[in-house]
Amino acid sequence: MADDPLVLVAQTGAVRTLTLNRPAALNSFTAAMHRELRAALDAVAADTGVRCLVLTGAGRGFCAGQDLNDAEGGFDAGEVIERLYKPLVLRIASMPVPVIAMVNGVAAGAGANIALGCDIVIAARSASFIQAFSKIALIPDAGGTWLLPRLVGRAKALGLALTGDKLPAEAAERLGLIWAVVDDAALTEQTMALAQRLAAMSVKALAATRRALDDATMLDLAAALSNEARVQGELARGADFREGVAAFLDKRSAKFSDR
Ligand code: T3D
């Protein structure tokens, strides 16, 4: 329906779920869907009641990348990437809470790389990942050139990118491209259980962990050690660290609240 939201928003406890909602086009990105997703992500970042984010797709696909019919997206691919995909990928990579991609079906093109850029990727057994770009004479975007070699090494990254072959979820897990594969019927339950678990942890420390790991890929060992010292110093001055240590000594569950 024309007036349906392009991103569905749901909340369960401290977990926010955003569902890409253009199922007839496998949730491929139009400029309008970019706008709705960006607003929904900004709302998560601004809401201290949200402590974990789950990103998924409606229907049988996760996301088929750029909508190849979308005129509003423009035909200047470089401009579209600068204006829409780059801010989206950077927004996800800098969220103050952990981000789980719940990959319910095919993830292709930019849709695959947006999923892979999330902190934890859990896929249904029937899902698949496709670096579809080479099929339409493009290179991997939405962070693909940066992520793929880091996730699976140059040989596998090039194999995936050059062939554009469909990689079934189980093969993606074996390659180390994603965290886990679960049966289709268990996808939502298992993802939500993990999301609730992460939401109860120190999400400030989890977000700092992601940042430190990403930063370290661009640092030498001495600089990475200095970065760890700096970040650890900041975290250890926070209320969550005091609570974590107190809970350990009291033999009780910690109640974290920093964000
Ligand atoms: O501006 C820029 O272009 C720069 C940005 C680029 C970023 C990118 O993401 S480039 C890569 C774009 N994505 C693709 O090339 C993937 C295209 N889709 C496919 O190859 C296939 O649909 C899949 C392999 C993902 C799934 O195949 P299958 O057989 O399961 O489904 P299908 O029948 O191909 O698709 C179902 C419907 O979704 C179909 O519509 P219809 O015929 O039922 O009305 C199909 O046209 C539509 N659809 C799927 N992907 C897209 C799409 N419509 C528009 N854009 C799509 N990307």
CATH of the domain at 234: 1.10.12
Same domain, 167 and 83: yes
Same domain, 117 and 183: yes
**Closest residue to atom 50 of ligand 1, CA basis:** 64
Residue 2 lies inside a defined structural domain of this protein:
no
| pLDDT (tens digit per residue) in 11-61 | 999 999 999 999 999 999 999 999 999 999 999 999 999 999 999 999 999
| pLDDT (tens digit per residue) in 119-132 | 999 999 999 999 99
Provide the token pair at 157. Answer: 């990254």
Please tell me the predicted confidence (pLDDT) of residue 75.
Answer: 73
Same domain, 176 and 211: no
Same domain, 194 and 207: no
Alpha helices (H) in the chain, listed in sequence order: 31-46, 77-80, 86-93, 110-116, 144-163, 169-175, 187-199, 203-216, 221-236, 239-250
Ligand 1 near 89 CB (within 6 A): no
Same domain, 83 and 193: yes
Residue 94 lies inside a defined structural domain of this protein:
yes
Ligand 1 near 109 CB (within 6 A): yes
Residue 183 lies inside a defined structural domain of this protein:
yes
CA-to-CA separations, 155 to 115, 119, 148, 224, in angstroms, rounded: 21, 23, 10, 26
Same domain, 216 and 145: no
CA 36 to chain centre: 16
Residue 147 lies inside a defined structural domain of this protein:
yes
Ligand 1 near 245 CB (within 6 A): no
231 Cα to the center of ligand 1, angstroms: 42
Query: Structurally, how many domains does the chain consist of?
Result: 2
22 Cα to the center of ligand 1, angstroms: 12
Same domain, 113 and 60: yes
Ligand 1 near 108 CB (within 6 A): yes
Same domain, 125 and 218: no
pLDDT tens track, the chain, 259 positions: 568 999 999 999 999 999 999 999 999 999 999 999 999 999 999 999 999 999 999 999 999 999 999 877 667 999 999 999 999 999 999 999 999 999 999 999 999 999 999 999 999 999 999 999 999 999 999 999 999 999 999 999 999 999 999 999 999 999 999 999 999 999 999 999 999 999 999 999 999 999 999 999 999 999 999 999 999 999 999 999 999 999 999 999 999 999 9
Same domain, 193 and 219: no
Q: Could you tell me the residue range of the domain that residue 243 belongs to? A: 203-250
Q: Given the CA of residue 111, which atom of ligand 1 is nearest to it?
A: 9
For the question of whether the overall pTM of this predicted structure is more than 0.95, the answer is yes
Same domain, 106 and 78: yes
Residue 164 lies inside a defined structural domain of this protein:
yes
Please tell me the predicted confidence (pLDDT) of residue 74.
Answer: 63
**Cβ count near 230 (within 10 Å):** 11
Q: Given the CA of residue 73, which atom of ligand 1 is nearest to it?
A: 1
Same domain, 222 and 102: no
**Closest residue to atom 2 of ligand 1, CA basis:** 77
**CA–CA gap between residue 179 and residue 187 (Å, rounded):** 13
Please tell me the predicted confidence (pLDDT) of residue 41.
Answer: 98
66 Cα to the center of ligand 1, angstroms: 8
Domain boundary among the residues 199, 216, 231 is at 199
Residue 50 lies inside a defined structural domain of this protein:
yes
Please tell me the predicted confidence (pLDDT) of residue 2.
Answer: 65
Residue 1 lies inside a defined structural domain of this protein:
no
Residue 258 lies inside a defined structural domain of this protein:
no
Same domain, 107 and 214: no
259 Cα to the center of ligand 1, angstroms: 37
Contact 131, 157 (CB under 8 A): no
Q: Distance between terminal CA atoms of the chain?
A: 37
Given the DSSP bridges, would you call strands 7-12 and 15-20 parallel, antiparallel or unpaired?
antiparallel
